[in-house]
């Protein structure tokens, strides 16, 4: 008897933990130390969760053994509503706030609760690949609109509109962006809202890096742009608060919510079926949102994250054949490599050989559903000394493979 996986998983890809990462695991089992620059996991590189969040969990841990309300504990959801008000988002109803085991679970729920077979969703290219995977698992079809380095990775609105068909249900916006580190302008966001309104589409706005901002850049929440378009906004503790393992994320729905009563009912049904999200993580949300925002210090001119971003950009762009748009946000750079200059057949071959020979793990650009050129994502979370070592290895490696 041959037991196969479900057919709808055949085309699902998540290369951040895919083939190249599996090779890294094999090398680690052989005793080789791998510098893993493939996952934005701050806690693995010495970034600490604020002490006040830890204390909020410890002091309330006796309340964490029981299931919570399926949408989440009231204090956390109330804190999220207040936070949206402080951002300028109006009219968020606490009944339209859902807590999840990280944004990842909520992304899956949001697609499963909406899509019928062959419904289409517009997703950026490059994307955070879970979005494409979630659409595929929900038996939908992901259509990728172009974002280009030549335009600072801003979306191509004309290409976005050209993809819309009667089967299109929504537009995914990842802002600040993973993997490129760009932040969309208000003008770009307004054009997306206008497009969604014209075609009666939902906007799904992934804003998990909303506070990881450099160079004085400001982030505009999508839900502040329009009252006439249904917007589902995602955020959480994993990046802004370096608490990936807490698995505490949320979504909230704004806009013409009365017309979305059926969809919200579907989200409620899915939330009930998984019983509730992790309660200890929920206990940290109120304190996180109401307390000192230490991420701003880390991203300031003398902050650790800013220094590591600056070093990464400087070292990458100093290598012949590598270009990079300077990331304005997030934890990543997304450089492109000129394969006419280097002896690699593809971006995947490049990152795999670099891993095997120099023991540094990147993710190939095609793993982010970006196939128009050859790129790779670099996580700049390690300390300066470690990042410098990684780029020394990269320079040495590319020198060997230059045509």
Average pLDDT of the chain is 94
With a cut of 90, say whether residue 17 has pLDDT above it: no
User: CB count, 10 Å around CB of 44?
Assistant: 14
Q: What is the pLDDT of residue 12?
A: 72
The Cα–Cα gap between 246 and 18 comes to: 23
Q: How many structural domains is the chain composed of?
A: 2
Query: What CATH number is attached to the domain comprising 150?
Result: 3.40.640.10
Query: How do residues 206-227 score in pLDDT, each as one tens digit?
Result: 999 999 999 999 999 999 998 8
Confidence band, pLDDT 50/70/90 cuts, at residue 67? confident
Same domain for 309 and 245, yes or no, is no
| Domain final residue pick, 227, 260, 290 | 290
First to last CA, the chain: 50
**Rounded mean pLDDT, 248-276:** 95
| Domain final residue pick, 229, 263, 290 | 290
Residue 183's nearest CA partner among 223, 153, 225, 147 is 153
Q: What is the pLDDT of residue 153?
A: 96
- For 141-296, strand residue ranges (E) read 141-146, 168-174, 202-206, 231-236, 249-254
With a cut of 80, say whether residue 13 has pLDDT above it: no
Same domain for 86 and 186, yes or no, is yes
Instruction: Report the C-alpha dihedral over residues 96, 246, 17, 324, rounded to 10 degrees.
Output: 80
Its pTM stands at 0.94
**Rounded mean pLDDT, 376-385:** 96
Query: How do residues 93-147 score in pLDDT, each as one tens digit?
Result: 999 999 999 999 999 999 999 999 999 999 999 999 999 999 999 999 999 999 9
Same domain for 228 and 354, yes or no, is no
Query: What CATH number is attached to the domain comprising 344?
Result: 3.90.1150.10
Same domain for 255 and 274, yes or no, is yes
With a cut of 70, say whether residue 299 has pLDDT above it: yes
Same domain for 312 and 232, yes or no, is no
Residue 219's nearest CA partner among 176, 173, 155 is 176
Query: How do residues 354-378 score in pLDDT, each as one tens digit?
Result: 999 999 999 999 999 998 889 999 9
Q: What is the pLDDT of residue 242?
A: 94
**Is 2 within the bounds of a domain?**
no
Q: What is the DSSP letter of 209?
A: T
With a cut of 90, say whether residue 229 has pLDDT above it: yes
Q: What is the pLDDT of residue 15?
A: 67
**Rounded mean pLDDT, 38-52:** 92
SS3 390: helix
Kindly tell me the burial class for residue 90, based on how many C-beta atoms sit within 10 Å of its own C-beta (0-12, 13-18, 19 or more). exposed
With a cut of 70, say whether residue 16 has pLDDT above it: no
Chain center to CA of 80: 19
Tokens of 269: 């049904």
Residue 187's domain spans which residues? Answer: 51-290
């Amino acid at each position: 008897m041959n037991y196969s996986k479900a057919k709808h998983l055949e085309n699902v890809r998540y290369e951040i933990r895919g083939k190249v990462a599996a090779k890294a695991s094999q090398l680690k089992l052989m005793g080789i130390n791998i510098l893993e620059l493939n996952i934005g996991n701050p806690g693995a590189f010495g970034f600490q969760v604020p002490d006040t969040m830890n204390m909020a969990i410890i002091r309330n841990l006796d309340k964490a053994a029981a299931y919570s309300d399926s949408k989440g504990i009231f204090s956390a959801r109330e804190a999220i509503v207040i936070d949206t008000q402080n951002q300028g988002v109006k009219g968020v109803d606490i009944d339209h706030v859902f807590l999840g085991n990280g944004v990842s679970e909520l992304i899956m729920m949001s697609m499963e609760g909406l899509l019928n077979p062959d419904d289409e969703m517009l997703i950026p290219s490059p994307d955070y690949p879970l979005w494409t995977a979630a659409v595929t698992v929900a038996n939908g079809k992901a259509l990728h609109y172009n974002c280009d380095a030549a335009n600072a990775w801003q979306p191509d609105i004309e290409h976005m509109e050209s993809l819309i068909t009667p089967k299109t249900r929504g537009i995914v916006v990842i802002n600040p962006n993973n993997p490129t580190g760009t932040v969309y302008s208000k003008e770009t966001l307004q054009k997306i809202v206008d497009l969604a309104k014209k075609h009666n589409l939902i906007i799904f706005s992934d804003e998990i890096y909303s506070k990881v901002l450099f160079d004085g850049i400001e982030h505009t929440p999508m839900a502040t742009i329009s009252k006439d378009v249904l917007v589902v906004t995602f955020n959480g503790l994993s990046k802004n608060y370096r608490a990936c393992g807490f698995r505490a994320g949320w979504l909230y729905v704004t806009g013409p919510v009365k017309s979305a009563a059926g969809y919200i009912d579907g989200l409620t049904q899915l939330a009930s079926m998984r019983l509730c999200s992790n309660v200890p993580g929920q206990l940290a949300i109120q304190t996180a949102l109401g307390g000192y925002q230490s991420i701003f210090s880390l991203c300031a001119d003398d902050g650790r994250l800013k220094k590591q971003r600056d070093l990464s950009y400087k070292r990458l762009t100093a290598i012949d054949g590598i270009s990079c748009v300077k990331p304005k946000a997030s934890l990543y750079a997304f450089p492109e490599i000129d394969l006419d200059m280097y002896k690699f057949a593809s971006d995947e071959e490049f990152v795999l050989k670099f891993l095997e020979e120099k023991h540094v793990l990147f993710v190939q650009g095609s793993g982010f559903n970006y196939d128009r050129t050859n790129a790779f994502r670099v996580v700049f979370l390690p300390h300066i000394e470690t990042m410098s070592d990684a780029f020394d290895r990269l320079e040495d490696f590319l020198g060997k493979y230059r045509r």
